[in-house]
Amino acid sequence: MEDDAPAVTLDKVRKVFGDHVVLDDVSLRIATGEAIVVAGISGSGKSTMLRCINGLETIDGGEVTVDGRQVGRSERALAVLRRDIGMVFQQFNLFPHMTVERNVMLAPLKVRGMDERDARTRAHQLLERVGIPEKAKDYPADLSGGQQQRVAIARALAMQPKVMLFDEPTSALDPEMIREVLDVMRDLATSGMTMVVVTHEMGFAREVCDRIVFLDEGRIVEEAPPEEFFSAAKSARAREFVDKIIHH
């Protein structure tokens, strides 16, 4: 499944908020087509790492590249780069003043300059793919959380990104809706999308991802395929983490 050129690289990335070091010397290579899960306790720096990949946070040291291009600081260059990076947020962040269909069409229309008809066709295909074609004309407020999150995934996919980032996409959902979102993500991984997923859903990690990256206090302390991570983690912190989730 892996190509030679990595889709995403982090090289000695450092990020501080004030005097709090949130990411400390983080290096990681993610191959094209790979799906990785980022795990770690709350505050360990997972979201920050993800947000450094599409430049929502600027880094204080090291280098991040996506698709061979450096993630810099210039807003203009970042906007161009972000076309190829989809992001799904914990709180969905759909645009409440637009219909579902318009949410999905916005970036293809305005950023890619696609024409209205093609954008709509694509939006409908994607809504079909995430299983809610009938909601195209509704407003986000009229959808359940799970449906909103699936729209958010469709919206990100509409730009045909090379990489998809997910920041705890199911953490704000009622339990009965988690499944429907994870199913969409699983299909996406199977189709060969490069994915970086921050999640506490270890079932998903075990079955779907190629590799688990475990963060602790801003450092990567473990990187392993899921079966190895769950059965034979090398670091004490990772074993502790695994024990906790397995025995809960």
Partner 1 sequence: MGYLFDPDNWEWVVTENNLGFLLEAFLINLQIAVIAMVLALAVGLVLALGAIARPAPVRLAAKAWVDVFRNIPLILLILYLALSQPQSVRDFWSDSAPGFLPDALRSEFILAGIGGLVLYNSAVLAEVFRAGILSLARGQREAAAALGLSYLQQMRHVVLPQGLRRMVPATVSQLITLNKDTTLVSIIAIQEVVRSGRVLAGTAGNPFTGSGVAAPILHVMIFVGLLFVIANYALSRLSRRLETRESRRIATVRTAPRVSEAPPA
Ligand X SMILES: Nc1ncnc2c1ncn2[C@@H]1O[C@H](COP(=O)(O)OP(=O)(O)OP(=O)(O)O)[C@@H](O)[C@H]1O
Among 47, 53, 28, 55, CA closest to 168:
47
Least separation in angstroms between CB 82 and ligand X:
19
Q: How many residues bind Mg ion (CB under 5 A)?
A: 1
> If binding is defined by CB under 5 A, does position 199 make contact with Mg ion?
no
Q: 9 or 47, CB closer to ligand X?
A: 47
The DSSP string of 167-225 is ESTTTTS-HHHHHHHHHHHHHHHHTT-EEEEE-S-HHHHHHH-SEEEEEETTEEEEEE-
Q: Rule CB under 6 A: is residue 199 a binding residue for ligand X?
A: no
Q: Choose the one of partner 1, ligand X, Mg ion, none that binds residue 104, judging by a C-beta under 5 to 8 angstroms depending on kind.
A: none
Residue 156 makes contact with partner 1 by CB under 8 A: yes
| Backbone dihedral angles phi then psi of residue 93, each to the nearest 5 degrees | 55, 40
**What is the spatial distance between Cα 80 and Cα 136, in angstroms, rounded to a whole number?**
27
Decide which of ligand X, Mg ion, partner 1, none touches 143; Cβ closer than 5 to 8 Å per partner kind.
partner 1
Q: Are 217 and 44 in contact (CB under 8 A)?
A: yes
CB 13 within 8 A of CB 23: yes
Residues that bind Mg ion (CB under 5 A): 47
Residues that bind partner 1 (CB under 8 A): 42, 47-48, 51, 54, 56, 75-76, 78-83, 85-87, 89-91, 93-97, 106-107, 110-111, 140-145, 148, 152, 155-156, 159, 167, 171-174
